[in-house]
Amino acid sequence: MAKNEEDFKEAIAGKKLPILTLDNKWHRLFTQNNQDKETKKLVEKLNDLVARQGGLNHEIKDIKKLKTKLMNEIVSGMDGKSLTPKDMEDHKRLINECNEKIDACQDELLDLPREIDQVNYRLMLRTMAICYEVIQNNTEEIISIGEWISQIRVELKKNVIRRQEREHMNKELYSYMHDIFGPDVIDIFDMKYNPGENPLNHSSDNKSEKNT
């Protein structure tokens, strides 16, 4: 029975999902070679969001460093060191700009976790649908191969019995003819091997002799 993403929503409802594109196990199962178009789009979008989140956090850290440097220089300037009034104004303006940039980054960061979770959730549903389909296909093939193996085993047993019957018959016929004609029976019946000996082994020996 085929399933779609709707069938899997209940299974992951309320569960904390790992970020799939950061999960090594997920990557081992879903390389770029076996991703369909829809999965690739979700992967690309999720990676972009995660990268943006990391970029914003790094940017905030850099801005805060700059802001601290500017504030320290203002404090030093207040002690009469090297800053002109114009420098002081520039520093204050830059500090305000830093505050604005930090606020903007933090505002964007507030929305990103929700967006990441939404895309990651959709990717998980897609992953479950793909896994289900692959497992179903593999199961059908496993059953088919199992049936083939069972049939081959039956045929193998039948052929083993047939071979044993033929070997037994040859042995009895040879023994009977040997009693009547003596050792020359081998030449009369053009027998290239003794009864009970594997004909395939004898055939291989003959080929080896020819090659030498």
Task: Check whether residue 148 and residue 165 sit in a common domain.
Answer: no
DSSP label of 61:
H
Q: Which residues span the domain enclosing 80?
A: 16-152
- 185 or 164, which is more confident: 164
Q: How much is the pLDDT for 207?
A: 52
One-letter amino acid of 126: R
Q: Are 107 and 180 in a shared domain?
A: no
Asked whether residue 5 is assigned to any structural domain, the reply reads: no
Structure tokens at 173: 């016929």
User: What's the pLDDT tens digit per position in 105-119?
Assistant: 999 999 999 999 999
140: which 2 tokens? 């059908």
Count CB atoms within 10 A of the CB of residue 94. Answer: 14
Q: How confident is the model at residue 161 (pLDDT cuts 50, 70, 90)?
A: very high
Task: Tell me the pLDDT tens digit for each residue of 40-80.
Answer: 999 999 999 999 999 999 999 999 999 999 888 888 766 65
- 61-68: long-range contacts at Cβ-Cβ below 8 A with a sequence spacing of 24 or more? 63/98, 63/101, 63/102, 63/105, 64/98, 64/102, 66/94, 66/98, 67/95, 67/98, 67/99, 67/102
Other beta carbons within 10 Å of 120: 21
Pair 20, 121 in one domain: yes
